[in-house]
Amino acid sequence: MISKLRQYPWWAQCILLWLCVWVSLNMVGLVGARFIESEQFSPAPQQIPGIWSRWDAGYYLAIVFHGYAGHPDAAGFFPLYPMLISLFYRFSGVNPELIGLFISNGACLIATLIFYKIARLVKDDHGYALRSTLALLVFPTSFFYFALYAESLYLLFALLGVYLALRSRQSNIGSGLALGLSSIARPVGGVLDIVMMIEFVRRRKFDAKSILSLGFGLALSILGVVLYVYYLYILFGSWTAISEAQAHWHRQWQFPLITYWEGLKALVNFPHLRVDWFEYASNVMDLGFASFAIWIAIVSVVWAKRGELPWGLTIYAVVLLLFFLSSQNELPTPLWGVTRWAASIFPFYFVLGNMFKSNKLQALYYTGSALLLILFTAWWTSGRWIG
């Protein structure tokens, strides 16, 4: 497939890849919503945009219509995505679900193009960059980038910030602004400051102007979150409104290895296996994706030591994975959420783009990943949970 695309410019190739995935997932979603029965929604939406407006999408739409004041338990859903939906809705009157999908899909498309450019910075090879881009698009839970979720908006600004930090003409201020926007799309955006700081140190430009631009960029990267926390304080009278809202999900901070160990124990000693097979299957899936992510993280470190992957991206990926593993869900599904969150650790796709020396193994990976993506999309759009 990739070899047939070489006759087109790089940006057209990326758009064609994205378009193939977009069309396929919408077709799969329509089939899944129509033919896979679900008790979660009565009746289950069977058309676009309803099939992409599942689970957490309801919180974003509630914020659009009623604000955070009407839904204090939604404080953990950061404001950039619902704010943009609300803005376009107020001016156009168009269905906010359609607006949300337009934002998500548009952000995903632009993010795909920026991701390719970063891949070329990692390794100046078109084939490698395109394989890495394909790995991003067909990851088993990449359907969240096309749903009424903030994932693709976060990815867009996260990638833009990284690109501005890694390119030859580094822009700390532009990078900080982009990372600040990613941080108010999803809270993990702040971790990307690691990339900007490591790249600054690597270039060894410690003059006053460079240091000042780095400081200003870092300030911009956290400004959005600071303002959001202050807004919630004005609204609810609490500086910890975000963590209080997160308590609704029954999570606790835990040492990452303990979270992983609890997932292993639940695999062999699952108390509800006979009465709730889905929770057991979810735990198996989360454990599998956590193990896969740990393996890719180890490979990333090896590649960084060999100079094949920037240390900033590697350390960011490892820190983000440890952060996800530190957020332990209540038993018997301690790793709940890892399957979805793994998709947002985008440096892993740079590894997957050059992981397999054999073309057959590479094709096998992409085929298996795409098949899982199709299965997960059909399952999720029918109203069931994945991730």
Q: What pLDDT score was predicted for residue 38? A: 57
Residue 387 is assigned to a structural domain of this protein: no
Phi, psi of 331 (to 5 degrees): -65, 150
Output the pTM of the full model: 0.92
Residue 386 is assigned to a structural domain of this protein: no
Positions in the chain whose pLDDT score sits under 70: 1-6, 37-45, 270-277
**Are 230 and 334 within one domain?**
no
Q: Give the separation between CA 385 and CA 186, rounded to whole angstroms.
A: 20
Q: Give the separation between CA 322 and CA 227, rounded to whole angstroms.
A: 26
Q: What pLDDT score was predicted for residue 275? A: 56
Q: What pLDDT score was predicted for residue 156? A: 97
Q: What pLDDT score was predicted for residue 28? A: 93
**Are 198 and 270 within one domain?**
no
**Are 301 and 169 within one domain?**
no
**Are 86 and 196 within one domain?**
yes
Residue 236 is assigned to a structural domain of this protein: yes
**How many domains in the chain?**
2
Provide the 8-state DSSP code for 240.
T
Q: How many CB atoms lie within 10 A of CB 238?
A: 14
**Are 365 and 273 within one domain?**
no
- The H or E element containing residue 194 is helix 193-203
Provide the 8-state DSSP code for 328.
E
Q: What pLDDT score was predicted for residue 356? A: 80
How far is the CA of 203 from the CAs of 158, 196, 211, 232, in angstroms?
A: 21, 11, 12, 39
pLDDT in tens, 122-176: 999 999 999 999 999 999 999 999 999 999 999 999 999 999 999 888 788 898 9
Q: What pLDDT score was predicted for residue 81? A: 96
Q: What pLDDT score was predicted for residue 354? A: 87
Domain region containing 304: 250-355
Q: How many CB atoms lie within 10 A of CB 311?
A: 18
Q: How many CB atoms lie within 10 A of CB 154?
A: 27
Specify whether the CB–CB gap between 378 and 26 falls below 8 A.
no
Q: What pLDDT score was predicted for residue 42? A: 46
Q: How many CB atoms lie within 10 A of CB 46?
A: 17
